[in-house]
Amino acid sequence: MERALFFSAQAGRTIEAPRRVKSRFAIGDVVKHKVFDFRGVIFDVDPVFANSEEWYNSIPEDIRPDRNQPFYHLLAESDDNTYVAYVSQQNLLNDSLGGPVEHPDVHAYFQQFENGRYRMRRSLTH
């Protein structure tokens, strides 16, 4: 399998990942967590785990996700809070029918909510 390297600012190091990864979700998709009560819109995707070891080890071992799957950066919301979340693919479900996300930073990344997903601002695409 062909591998690629990318630098992760969150991890503070270079990460090795497969050159091709099958991700279930894309930037602009609205998702919800399978276990915890929050939802969000995806604004970035890592092909494999690319956060700090401290963050990874803080997850209880019995529910710690496999590193070798896509991880998603979300503008997340719960009933009483908004924040940025980092979630493994195995822990996400599509929530396109749940409506728009009320995170205050949504409009910095996305133009509008349409057909169950957000469209990224043109100024942020290459």
For β-strands 3-8 and 82-88, DSSP reports them as unpaired
Q: What is the pLDDT of residues 50-84, one digit of tens each?
A: 999 999 999 999 999 999 999 999 999 999 999 99
Residue (of 112, 36, 107, 45) closest to 74 by Cα position: 45
Rounded to two decimals, the pTM is: 0.86
Six token digits for residue 24 = 């279930």
Q: What is the pLDDT of residues 77-124, one digit of tens each?
A: 999 999 999 999 999 999 999 999 999 999 999 999 999 999 998 776
State pLDDT tens for residues 21-52: 788 999 999 999 999 999 999 999 999 999 99
Instruction: Kindly state the helix (H) or strand (E) to which residue 22 belongs, with its residue range.
Output: none
- Distances in Å between the Cα of 14 and the Cα atoms of 52, 78, 92 are 11, 32, 26
The count of residues in the chain is 126
Topology of domain 22-124 in CATH is SH3 type barrels. (2.30.30)
Distance of alpha carbon 52 from alpha carbon 35, whole angstroms: 22
